């Protein structure tokens, strides 16, 4: 699934993305680390993977991987 990076804190490696419908979804350091990225800038297009069987707080999807979207 594709999204756009919305927030990112390099100290905690946590942040959030915006889905194409505008829904913000947070990600944790484990999801960021799984993608092998060193840095993420706000506005970058990313590819995310979501754990279909788990949700985070407030029934939002749980992101398991964040990586850059390549063409």
Domains of the chain: 2-68 (2.40.50)
What DSSP assignment string belongs to 21-60?
A: TS-EEEE-HHHHHHTT-S---TT-EEEEEEEEEEE-GGGP
Per residue in 3-53, pLDDT (tens digit) is 999 999 999 999 999 999 999 999 999 999 999 999 999 999 999 999 877
**Nearest alpha carbon to residue 8 among 38, 36, 34:** 38
Residue 58: what pLDDT? 61
Residue 52: what pLDDT? 74
Q: Using only C-alpha atoms, what is the Rg of the chain? A: 11
Rounded (5°) CA angle 68-2-24: 105
Kind of pairing between the strands at 24-27 and 45-55 = unpaired
pLDDT higher at 50 or 69 = 50
Per residue in 43-56, pLDDT (tens digit) is 999 999 998 776 65
Number of other CB atoms surrounding residue 18 within 10 Å: 16
């Amino acid at each position: 699934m594709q999204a756009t990076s919305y927030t990112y804190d390099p100290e905690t490696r946590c942040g959030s993305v915006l889905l194409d419908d505008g829904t913000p979804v947070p990600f944790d350091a484990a999801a960021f680390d799984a993608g092998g990225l060193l840095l993420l800038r706000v506005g970058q297009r990313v590819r995310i993977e979501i754990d279909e069987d788990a949700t985070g707080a407030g029934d939002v999807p749980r992101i398991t991987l964040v990586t850059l979207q390549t063409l």
